[in-house]
């Protein structure tokens, strides 16, 4: 019998013969309602963390230059430039900077550097009720992921002497680094949910993937969060194409 809480579907290598055996860890549950508009304002961007991602665009242009008419796939970064006059997603991005009621200053940072402490990640997974996984395997899975996006909360005490950094969200994408990417394990700390942080996390990750010329970004969503991803531009069963999972025979 699966000891894991519903509604999470679980899937492990144990002989769990219950019907819920598929694990898809995109469980960002946001109530419909008001989201903080986390539109990036130029003056808030911390200059010292800005990393130019023009490197990727230069690769794309060098590859494309001598293709003939049979080439049907266009790297998304060339299309993407038309939208919003967008700059590349930097490695670290300040999403929010606010004072809490007790006087502490809190900053929410989005990061693509991918250095995640697996113990912090395990604590986060415990908070949302996801099953634990062997830490060594988690470390390997993060290393083998093409992009790992994280949300950190940095709180400074009013006196300014103590600084606490806490992992409050993560999403990762695996990819062949040329055509396809799949987003897995989107997670936000329950006490930080409902503020639009999950949306920002997935949006920034998606944009970062597009800027690296990954044209096909996919994911597998629990039925409860399909609408969340629809609002972010994801389409379920496009043209009738279905997601299928392999299962152990009964």
Residue 100 and residue 153: Cα distance in Å, rounded?
Answer: 12
Spatial separation of the C-alpha atoms in residues 39 and 47, rounded to whole Å: 17
39 lies in the binding site for another protein (CB under 8 A): no
Is residue 51 at the binding interface for another protein, with CB under 8 A as the rule?
A: no
Question: Does the active-site annotation cover 152?
Answer: no
x/- mask, another protein, residues 78-117, rule CB under 8 A, reads -xx--x----------------------------------
Q: Which is nearer to another protein, 191 or 231 (CB)?
A: 231
The reply on whether position 241 binds another protein by CB under 8 A is yes
Say if residue 182 is exposed, middle or buried (CB neighbours under 10 Å; 0-12, 13-18, 19+).
Answer: middle
Pick one of 73, 98, 129, 190: the residue that binds another protein (CB under 8 A): 73
Least Cα distance to 174 among 130, 140, 199 occurs for 140
Tell me the closest approach of the beta carbon of residue 80 to another protein, in angstroms: 8
- Both tokens of 3, joined, read 């000891």
Supply the minimum distance, in Å, between the C-beta of residue 44 and another protein: 23
CA atoms within 13 A on the CB side of 185: 22
- The stretch among 42-50, 99-107, 159-167, 239-247 that binds another protein (CB under 8 A) is 239-247
The verdict on 145 binding another protein (CB under 8 A) reads yes
Three-class secondary structure assignment of 42-69: HHHCCHHHCCCCHHHHHHHHHHHCCCCC
For residues 86 and 82, give the distance between their C-alpha atoms in angstroms, rounded to a whole number: 8
Q: For binding to another protein (CB under 8 A), which residues are involved?
A: 9, 11, 13, 19-24, 63-64, 67, 70-73, 76, 79-80, 83, 133, 137, 140-142, 144-145, 172, 174-180, 182, 184, 206, 216-223, 226, 229-249
Q: Would you name the residues annotated as active-site residues? A: 229
């Amino acid at each position: 019998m699966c000891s894991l809480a519903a509604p999470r579907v679980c899937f492990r290598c144990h002989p769990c013969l219950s019907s819920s055996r598929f694990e898809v860890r995109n469980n960002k549950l946001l109530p419909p309602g008001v989201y903080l508009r986390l539109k990036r304002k130029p003056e808030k961007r911390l200059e010292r963390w800005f990393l130019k991602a023009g490197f990727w665009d230069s690769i794309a242009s060098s590859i494309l230059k001598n293709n003939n008419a049979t080439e049907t796939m266009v790297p998304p970064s060339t299309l993407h430039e038309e939208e919003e006059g967008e700059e590349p997603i930097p490695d670290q991005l300040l999403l929010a900077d606010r004072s809490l009621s007790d006087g502490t200053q809190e900053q929410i940072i989005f990061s693509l550097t991918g250095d995640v402490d697996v113990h912090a990640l395990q604590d986060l997974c415990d908070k949302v009720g996801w099953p634990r996984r062997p830490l060594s395997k988690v470390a390997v899975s993060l290393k083998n992921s093409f992009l790992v996006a994280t949300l950190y909360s940095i709180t400074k005490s009013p006196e300014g002497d103590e600084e606490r950094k806490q992992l409050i969200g993560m999403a990762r994408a695996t990819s062949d680094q040329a055509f396809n990417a799949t987003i897995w394990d989107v997670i936000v700390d329950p006490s930080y949910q409902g503020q639009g942080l999950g949306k920002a996390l997935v949006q920034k990750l998606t944009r970062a993937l597009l800027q690296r010329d990954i044209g096909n970004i996919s994911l597998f969503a629990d039925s409860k969060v399909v609408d969340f991803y629809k609002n972010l531009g994801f389409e379920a069963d496009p043209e009738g194409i279905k997601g299928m999972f392999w299962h152990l025979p009964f």
